[in-house]
Amino acid sequence: MPALNRRALLAGATLPLFAIGTRPSRAADFSLKLANNSPVTHPQSVRQQEAAARIKKATNGAVDIQVFPNNQLGSDTDMLSQLRSGAIDLFTLSGLILSTLVPAASINGVGFAFKDYDSVWKAMDGKLGAYVRGEIDKRGLVAMDKIWDNGFRQITSSTRAIKGPDDLKGFKIRVPVSPLWTSMFQALGASPISINFAEVYSALQTKIAEGQENPLSLIQIAKLYEVQKYCSMTSHMWDGFWMLANKRGFQSMPPDIQKIVATELNKSALDERADIAKLNDSVADDLKSKGLQFIEVDKPAFRAALKSAGFYAEWKKKYGDEAWGILESEVGTLS
């Protein structure tokens, strides 16, 4: 924690509630719940635990964050409602799913917008991210500055090898609950089914869905390879998790405390990005050794199929000229 904050806190003069360092251990002034949808061993969950520990220390116990990973508090849809009502204080959620409340938040998921991680972080830590956070703010939530990495998404299947867009015809693919995802896979001719992540493994196991799409790191950590046979390297979109706070709750804490919480959460987001980058070096080999068959695809063919189905034109209209202009200023012309 920055020395300045600590001194300000220790002074206690402006923050009588936080007579930090002058009292024996006692219940925290702020007990917060932080929830996510990722397995306990996912870097997201691990780094959130670390942030909670640092925040507790830096506030001398005034802020006690309990982390509930792995959908312990419900599906993404449930947890978003709980965040809005204040039953959950902090929640990491894919921007694409958040778009059910904040339409602009799915914009980073537009098909094939990003070519690599450099362009992702430049946009999300830059103008595009700032624009989306501004939209989130209008809906009573606070998004921390640094978005957490989920990753570039790849399509897996238990039934057929997807090599090009034609192979997606009628393919029963699970997608997260988000209009952009449904629209994109409909444009590709597939039959998308919206299912929260909490139910994905069983939906694949029972073949309610033939396939799904997720970053390799999650395919590994959530053991989806156990119920899937093929993995097509489409990298059709990049997806990340915004660290969201209930604004009323967050702003009920003194500004110095808010700053500590935000700083430490943002630091852990950067740690988590590095973890995923490291995982990305080895995860494909590991998945191959577990029996997943990898397929290299003709990416431009998927993009051309989206274009000819009118996908880009439709979403440009939905997001509006301002948002689309910011996206294109970061990644180049899309339509």
Which residues form the interface with ligand X2X (CB under 6 A)?
Answer: 37, 94, 97, 150, 176, 197, 214, 218, 239
Start-to-end Cα distance in the chain: 45
In sequence order, which residues have a C-beta less than 8 Å from that of residue 269 and are 6 or more positions away?
A: 47, 144, 146, 147, 148, 243
Residue spans of alpha helices (H) in 28-72: 43-58
| Complete DSSP assignment for 283-299 | HHHHHHHTTPEEEE--H
- Of 18 and 230, the one with the shorter C-beta distance to ligand X2X is 230
**Cβ 178 to ligand X2X, closest distance in Å?**
8
Least distance from ligand X2X to the Cβ atom of residue 39, Å: 10
**C-alpha to C-alpha distance for 62 and 30, rounded to whole angstroms:** 6
Nearer to ligand X2X, 1 or 284 (CB): 284
Whether the Cβ atoms of residue 194 and residue 213 lie closer than 8 Å to each other:
no
Whichever of 51 and 218 has its CB closer to ligand X2X, that residue is 218
Please identify, using beta-carbon distances, which residue of 211 and 254 lies nearer to ligand X2X: 211
In the complex, the smallest distance separating the C-beta of residue 69 from ligand X2X, rounded to whole angstroms, is 12
Non-local CB neighbours of 143 within 8 Å, separated by 6+ positions: 132, 133, 136, 137, 242, 243, 244
State the Rg of the chain over Cα: 21
Nearer to ligand X2X, 44 or 59 (CB): 44
Cβ proximity to ligand X2X: between 95 and 129 the closer is: 95
Whichever of 15 and 287 has its CB closer to ligand X2X, that residue is 287
**How many C-alpha atoms does 83 have within 13 Å on its Cβ side?**
30
Q: Is 239 helix (H, G, I), strand (E, B) or coil?
A: strand
State the nearest-atom distance from the C-beta of 108 to ligand X2X, in Å. Answer: 12
DSSP assignment string, 87-128: SSSEEEEEHHHHTTTSGGGGGGGSTT--SSHHHHHHHHTTHH
Residue 145: burial class (beta carbons within 10 Å; 0-12, 13-18, 19+):
middle
